[in-house]
Amino acid sequence: MISLNVNGVQHALDIDPSTPLLYVLRNDLKLHGAKFGCGLGQCGACTVIVDGEATFSCLVPVSAIGTRPVRTLESLGSATHPGALQQSFIKHQAAQCGYCIAGMIMRAQALLDRNPHPTEQQVRAHMEPNLCRCGTHMRILAAIRDVAGLPAPQASTPATHPITAAKTAS
DSSP state of 21: H
Q: Helices 84-91 & 137-148, crossing angle to 10 degrees?
A: 130
When pLDDT is averaged across residues 77-94 and rounded to a whole number, the result is 94
Coil, strand or helix at 11? strand
Q: For residue range 57-71, what is the model confidence (pLDDT) as tens digits? A: 999 999 999 999 999
Does the pTM surpass 0.85? The reply is: yes
pLDDT at 155: 72
pLDDT in tens, 22-71: 999 999 999 999 999 999 999 999 999 999 999 999 999 999 999 999 99
Instruction: Please provide the distance, in angstroms rounded to a whole number, between the alpha carbons at the two ends of the chain.
Output: 68
Give Cβ neighbours of residue 145 (< 8 Å, ≥ 6 apart): 120, 123, 151, 152
Percent residues over pLDDT 90 in the chain:
82
Q: What is the mean pLDDT of the chain?
A: 92
124-132 long-range contacts (CB < 8 A, ≥24 apart) are: 126/54, 129/44, 129/54, 129/56, 130/43, 130/44, 130/45, 130/47, 130/100, 130/103, 130/104, 131/42, 131/43, 131/44, 131/100, 132/96, 132/100, 132/104
- pLDDT given at position 98: 85
Q: How confident is the model at residue 160 (pLDDT cuts 50, 70, 90)?
A: low
Asked if 152 and 138 touch (Cβ cutoff 8 Å), the reply is no
The pLDDT of residue 169 is above 70: no
Q: Confidence band (pLDDT; 50, 70, 90) for 82?
A: very high
Structure confidence at residue 116 (pLDDT): 97
Q: Which domains does the chain have, with CATH numbers?
A: 2-148 (3.10.20.30)
- Over residues 129-151, mean pLDDT: 93
> What residues are paired with 33 via a beta bridge?
none
What was the pLDDT predicted at 120?
94
Judge whether residue 85 has pLDDT over 80: yes
DSSP letters along 65-119, please?
TTT--EE-GGGT--SSS--HHHHHHHHTT--SS-TTHHHHHHHHHHHHHH-SS--
Residue 103 phi/psi, 5-degree rounding, is -65, -40
